[in-house]
């Protein structure tokens, strides 16, 4: 869902010259500056490396729910895959900015009792140690706009209920709610101009997107 949001903002931003969407399936969008790179195994990008050079930023929004997963399996997707992609892009694009979509309540100590928060924290810490500019985005509740939908069915039911309430939620919980549009715009803004902190919470995201 966040990926759809940042893709929309990139395509509508005249300052973004080219976009490559990498995934196991095509984005489904047709625009002159967009190119899809479809690969069945994201843990092996060797066959498409020639298509992943010449870029200023990577907006990494791939992720899975931790529901029903043990730590080993969740770590393989959340930590191993993220670090593999990050190291590959760093090698192919020296100086690239890497923006990772993490989540509110991520555990930077890596010692807490909540499994997903520990793994996300470990992933963040490893990314911040790599030789590129890295920023961690920790949004809380994200309201989808512009027809964007989650691939998780029950999320869509929740968003259908919450979206009409967004003005109320924003008024009373301004530090807890953002939108797909704001997250996308914030990612582009941080890639262009950086930010004073390497970890951005919802208030930071909303501020830099305006």
For 56-107, the pLDDT digits (tens) are 999 999 988 898 999 999 999 999 999 999 999 999 999 999 999 999 999 9
pLDDT band at 147 (very low <50, low <70, confident <90, very high): low
Q: How many domains does the chain divide into?
A: 1
Helices and strands (H, E) in the chain, number of each type: 8, 8
Domain CATH code at residue 191: 3.40.50.720
More confident residue, 39 or 153: 39
Tell me phi and psi for residue 35, to 5 degrees. -130, 130
DSSP H helical segments within 56-164, as ranges? Answer: 71-75, 81-92, 115-128, 153-162
Length of the chain: 210
User: Most distant CA pair in the chain: distance in Å?
Assistant: 49
pLDDT band at 154 (very low <50, low <70, confident <90, very high): very low
Question: Nearest-CA neighbor of 54 among 35, 79, 29, 39?
Answer: 35
The upper half-sphere exposure of residue 166, i.e. CA atoms within 13 Å in the direction of its Cβ, equals 14
What average pLDDT does the chain have? Answer: 90
pLDDT in tens, 184-198: 999 999 999 999 999
pLDDT band at 142 (very low <50, low <70, confident <90, very high): confident
pTM confidence score: 0.88
pLDDT in tens, 119-132: 999 999 999 999 99
Dihedral Cα 47, 48, 53, 58, nearest 10 deg = -120
Give residue 169's pLDDT: 65
Per mean pLDDT, which range of 46-50, 107-111, 124-128, 152-156 is the poorest? 152-156
Whole-number Å distance between alpha carbons of 79 and 81: 6
Give residue 190's pLDDT: 98
* Sole residue written with tokens 């992943």: 52
pLDDT in tens, 162-183: 566 656 666 766 677 899 999 9
pLDDT in tens, 24-36: 999 988 899 999 9
176 close to 205: Cβ distance less than 8 angstroms: no
Domain that holds residue 70: 2-209
């Amino acid at each position: 869902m966040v990926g759809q949001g940042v893709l929309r903002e990139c395509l509508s931003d005249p300052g973004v010259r080219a976009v490559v969407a990498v995934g196991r399936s095509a984005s489904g969008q047709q625009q002159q500056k967009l190119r899809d790179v479809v690969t069945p195994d994201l843990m092996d990008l060797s066959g498409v490396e020639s298509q992943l050079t010449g870029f200023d930023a990577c907006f990494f929004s791939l992720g899975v729910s931790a529901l029903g997963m043990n730590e080993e399996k969740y770590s393989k997707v959340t930590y191993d895959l993220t670090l593999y992609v990050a190291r590959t892009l760093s090698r192919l694009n020296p100086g690239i900015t890497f923006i990772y979509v993490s989540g509110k309540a991520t555990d930077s100590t890596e010692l807490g009792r909540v499994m997903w928060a520990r793994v996300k924290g470990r992933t963040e810490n490893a990314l911040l140690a790599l030789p590129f500019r890295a920023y961690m985005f920790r949004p809380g509740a994200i309201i989808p706009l512009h027809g964007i939908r989650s691939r998780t069915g029950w999320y869509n039911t929740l968003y259908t209920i919450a979206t009409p309430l967004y003005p109320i939620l924003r008024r009373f919980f301004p530090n807890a709610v953002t939108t797909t549009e704001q997250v996308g715009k914030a990612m582009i803004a941080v890639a262009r101009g950086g930010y004073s902190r390497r970890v951005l919470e919802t208030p930071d995201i909303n501020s830099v997107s305006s």
